[in-house]
Structure formats: C-alpha cells, structure tokens
Structure 1
Amino acid sequence: MTITQLTYLLAVAEYKNFTLASEKCFVTQPTLSMQIQKLEEELDVTIFNRKKKPIELTPIGEKIIEQAKIIVDESNRINDIVDQQKGYIGGDFNVGIIPTIMPSLLPLFLKTFIKKYPKVNLIIEELTTEEIIRKLNDGYLDAGIAATPLEEPSIKEKVLYYEPFVGFLHNNHRLYSEKNISVEDLDIDDILLLEDGHCFKDNIINLCNSFKKKDPHNFRIESGSFDTLIKLTKEGLGMTLLPYLQTYDLKESDQKLVRSFKNPAPSREVSIIYHKSQLKIQLIDALKEVIDSLIRGVIAFSDVKIISPLRK
C-alpha cells in the first residue's frame, strides 16, 4: 500500500470516474486503474462498484476512503511542517471564495499576491460556503474566504474586513430622494434578492427580520448574480442591496443610484477560514497580510453593525 495508491483512490471517490480522476492526478487512466486494482487485490476487497454509473463506493470502500483521507492528509502535513520551520512560502495553495465576494475581492489582491509570492501556486475556486466547509474538512482546500461567523467547530476564522451594505435603487423609487437610508426603510416585497445558496441573501433576510409591507407585487424575483439584480433595479422592478465593494465597478451614472445606510451601517464580516488542523499557516498569513494592506485603502468604515450570514 502506498500514498500514491491512496491518492488515486481519493481522486476516483471525488470525481466518480476513472478517466477524470486520472486527468486530475496527471497519470494515464490505465496506470491509475492498475494501481487501484493492485490495492484491492492486496486488501482482498472491492472498493468501487464499477457497474454503477457514476461509480459508487462499496460499504467497505467508504470506510477505506475515510481512512485514506486521514493518511494522505497527514503525509502532506510533513511537508507543511518542514516548510513552516524553514519559513518557506511556496507550493500549492488551494483557496475557495464564495461567489458574492470573489468578483470584487479577487481583482484587488491577485496581481499583488502572485508578484510578491512567485513560488506559490495559487489555485482558486468559486464555491458556496457549504462547499468550502466540506472541502476544508475533507482536505481538498487549504483556506477559504467567506462571510462569517460560521460557528463551525472544525473551522478557524481570521477576520479580513467588515464590508457595509448599500442600497441600489431606481430614480423613481420611494427612497431615491433620501441621502442615506435606514434599516426601517426596507420592505421585503420591494427587495430583489439573490437566489438560495448565496449567504448574502441570508445576510439580507437577517437584516430585515421584521418587514413592513407597503406596495406588494404580484411577482418575486431571485437571481444568481448582482449584475442581474442591478439591471432589474434599473428597470424599476424594485431595489436591491449590494456589498460595498460591488459598487466599485459601477458606471458613474449608476453610482448616483447608490444609497449608504445611516450609522451603524449594516455590514458583513469577511474572513479567511481554514481547518483547525491546517499547517499552511505561513501561506494563510501571507494572503491575509496582502489583503489587509490593500483593503485599508478601499474600506475605511468603522461604525458598523455585523449581520450574521447564518439563517435565523
């Protein structure tokens, strides 16, 4: 039994396909299949049910995969321990970022980070908070960037910044004449929301936990992107709430449709998160330092009220 064989096992278990797993492991499909078959013969068990499409784990296979994750993860940590001792900042660094943060934050730090740390192979995925937590727990990610607090016992959080919410509304909207808006001005039937699965939607629902109904519509719109919500708002179909950084790419004419909240401004807490047993702390701290240095020049708000992303 070798670490390589266990790594191949994990790849097949994740992708449920031998060909795709071999591509991800950078080996030929016959090589990967042969190594797994040798391991099954050595253990005298069948790990995968190859008759199923997609491939499924057998009951004993599920237990073997659980142990394989631990073994491969711990073997990788030997290299992490050595790198940490040497102060080396390099190697693969897998980071997941939630969709409502990635488009606005990534352009701010990516170029600076890769220039400052050229030996780091930064691998970034856009994932939901649930996917990030699962992949952190399974060892497929080294860190994530998400709205917090998450109250996950296995996950540690380091706050990066606090991002205020702002209103975005049509020039015929009832709040357009207001210089600043308040939470009491909001109406759930008037707000265009992101679809389920986006924690920013949960932020907004928690913010507006007691709504006033003023002008109910005979429709309800939820979208997967802020761009769509912005376009619908400009068509006069309601208003929406945006994270502050999302307004940086707005045209000058659209900036006039943005309204800040009165203090304390409702805000979300954005953190870099990682598994409590993670050893790539030097990489995590390097990323946090870069983001900290850049975000200070963009977000200067101090009087804020943090809205939890956890559905109440």
Structure 2
Amino acid sequence: MTLAQLRYAVAVDTHRHFGRAAAACFVSQPTLSAALKKLEDELGAVLFDRSRQPVVPTAAGERVVARARGVLREADALARDAGDRLTEPEGKLRVGVIPTLASCLLPLVAGPFAARFPRARLTLIELTTDAILDHLVTERIDAALVATDENQPGLRSELLFSEPFVAYIGSGHPLAAHDEIDPARLSPTDVWLLSEGHCFRDQVLHLCGTAPDEGGRAVRFESGSLETLRRMADRAGGVTLLTELSTLYLTGDEAARVRPLTAPVPRREVRLLTVRAHLKEGLIDAFAATVREAVAEALT
C-alpha cells in the first residue's frame, strides 16, 4: 500500500469519475486504474462500484477512503513540518460561504486578507449549508462559513461572531410607525421569505413562531437573495428580516426602512467549519482572524 494509491482512491471519491480523478492527480487513467486495482487486491475488497455513473464507493470503499484522507493529512503535515516553517501563511485556501453571508461579509474580508497575506490564494465559493457539508467531507473546500451549529463527526465548529436580526419594513406598512419591532407581531403571511434550503429561512420562521401560511397572500414569492426580498417589500409591501451586516450597504430611503427588534434581540451566530487536524490550519486561522477583525470594525 502506498500514499499514491491512497491519493488515487481519494481522488476517485472526490470526482466520482476515473478520468477526472486521473487528471487531478496528473497521471493517465490506466495508471490510476491499475494502482487502484492493486490496492483492492491487497485489501481484499472492491472499493468502487464501476458499474454506476457517477462512480460511487462501496461500503468498504467508504471506510477505506475515510481512513485514507486521515493518513494523507498526516503525511502532508509531516512533510510540512520537516521543512522550514514560514512566518507568513501561504498557499491556496478554498472557503465555502452561505449565500446570506457572501454578499455582505466577503467585501469586508477579501481586500484585507489579500493585503495582509500576499502569499495566500483565497477562493470563495457560495454554497448552501448542505452543499458545504458535502464539499468539506470530500475535501473540495478547506473551510466554510455557516450560520448553524453543525455537529458532525470529523468536523470542527468554531464561533466567529454573532450579529443581530433587524426588520425591513415596506412602504405604507403599519409597523413603519414603530421605532422597534416585536418579532411576535410578525406574521408569516406578511413576511417575504428565502426559499427552502436556506438556513436563514428557518431562523426567520422560528422568530415568527410558526410555519409559512400557504394561503394568506395573493402573491407568494420565495427567493434565494436578501436583496430581492427587500425589493419585494419596497414594491409589494410587507416585511422581511435581515441581519445587521446586510444593512451596511443601504443608504437613503432603504436605510430608513430598517428597524431594530425588541429585546432580547435575536442574533445569528456565524461559525467556521473545518475538518479536524487540517493541513492548512495556519491559513485557516489567518482567515478566521481577518473575519473577526473586519466584522468587529464594521459593526462598531
């Protein structure tokens, strides 16, 4: 059994295709296939179901790939530690970000991170929470920013910051006369929601204390964009909920439509998810510190 064979197995699990896995490993497909067949013979188990497209691991293959990822992380860490340690983080860092954070947080972070760590290469990918979890397990991303406390084996969750929810009131709405809004007064028939699959939607429904009413509004529209929901509240009336970070870019009449919520003010916790014992811990720590500093400055 060799590290190369383990890397090939992990690559096939990640790409679910022998040709793409071989390309990612910079070898020919016959070379990769032969190495995996030799590994299977040595282990006495078939690791991948080659009759299916995309290729999927067998039950034994899932266990082997999970162990292989851990072995490869340790091997890479050993190679890193054997060399000269850099005082400045460098390398590629791939970070998944949920959509309701991407548009408001990333403009605050991308510039300062690039300026502070010029030897790092940061790739930011907008993904739903479910997609983020899949990408982390298959190591297509190195870290992620989410707004739920995920408790899954092999993942580490670290609180980065929390931010308050606020209300955005449409023109002519009765609540526009209030200086602050009691969440108990919000009705799902009156609140524009994100579409299913967004954790922000579930958090808003929890604040309203109920499920969406399918028949209470003549037009029922759900979006994947907070900006679109604001536009619906502006033009069609009603209310939507935002987070404080998402209001930083509002000006004029739009900013005047924002109302704080009554105490105790509900807040959203933003967490950093990583795979335990990650090779890129230095880069990840640098990114986390940049996020904390940028948010602290923006919300003061």
TM > 0.5 between the two?
yes
Q: Given residue 9 of structure 1, which amino acid in structure 2 is its aligned partner?
A: A
Q: Given residue 147 of structure 1, which amino acid in structure 2 is its aligned partner?
A: A
- 2:150 & 2:238 partners in 1: Cα distance? 30
Deviation at 1:218, TM superposition (A): 4.1
In structure 2, what is the equivalent of residue 54 of structure 1? 54
Q: Given residue 254 of structure 2, which amino acid in structure 1 is its aligned partner?
A: D
Q: Given residue 5 of structure 2, which amino acid in structure 1 is its aligned partner?
A: Q
In structure 2, what is the equivalent of residue 243 of structure 1? 243
- Does the 8 Å CA contact 1:165/1:265 hold for their aligned counterparts? yes
Map 1:162-181 to 2 at 5 A: 162-181=162-181
Structure 2 length as normaliser, TM-score? 0.84
- Does the 8 Å CA contact 1:83/1:89 hold for their aligned counterparts? no
In structure 2, what is the equivalent of residue 121 of structure 1? 121
Percent identity reads 33
1:159-211 residue CA offsets vs partner (Å, 9 max, x unmatched): 32221112122212121222221212211211111112211112112222258
- 2:83 & 2:287 partners in 1: Cα distance? 16
Structure 1 length as normaliser, TM-score? 0.81
Pair 57,294 (structure 1): closer, same or farther in 2 beyond 3 Å: closer
- 2:89 & 2:162 partners in 1: Cα distance? 27
Deviation at 1:226, TM superposition (A): 1.3
RMSD: 3.1
In structure 2, what is the equivalent of residue 307 of structure 1? none
Deviation at 1:276, TM superposition (A): 3.9
Map 1:1-312 to 2 at 5 A: 1-40=1-40, 46-79=46-79, 81=81, 89-152=89-152, 154-209=154-209, 216-278=216-278, 280-300=280-300
Pair 18,141 (structure 1): closer, same or farther in 2 beyond 3 Å: same
- Does the 8 Å CA contact 1:81/1:279 hold for their aligned counterparts? no
- Does the 8 Å CA contact 2:143/2:272 hold for their aligned counterparts? yes
Deviation at 1:137, TM superposition (A): 4.5
Higher mean displacement: 158-167 or 198-207: 158-167
- Does the 8 Å CA contact 2:151/2:157 hold for their aligned counterparts? no
Pair 271,209 (structure 1): closer, same or farther in 2 beyond 3 Å: same
- 1:295 & 1:41 partners in 2: Cα distance? 53
- Does the 8 Å CA contact 1:167/1:258 hold for their aligned counterparts? yes
Say which SS state the counterpart of residue 177 (structure 2) adopts. coil
Deviation at 1:234, TM superposition (A): 1.8
Give structure 1 stretches of 5+ with no counterpart. Answer: 301-312
- 2:210 & 2:58 partners in 1: Cα distance? 49
- Does the 8 Å CA contact 2:205/2:212 hold for their aligned counterparts? no
Higher mean displacement: 250-259 or 9-18: 250-259
1:83-123 residue CA offsets vs partner (Å, 9 max, x unmatched): 89765522232322212111111111111112211222323
Q: Given residue 132 of structure 2, which amino acid in structure 1 is its aligned partner?
A: I
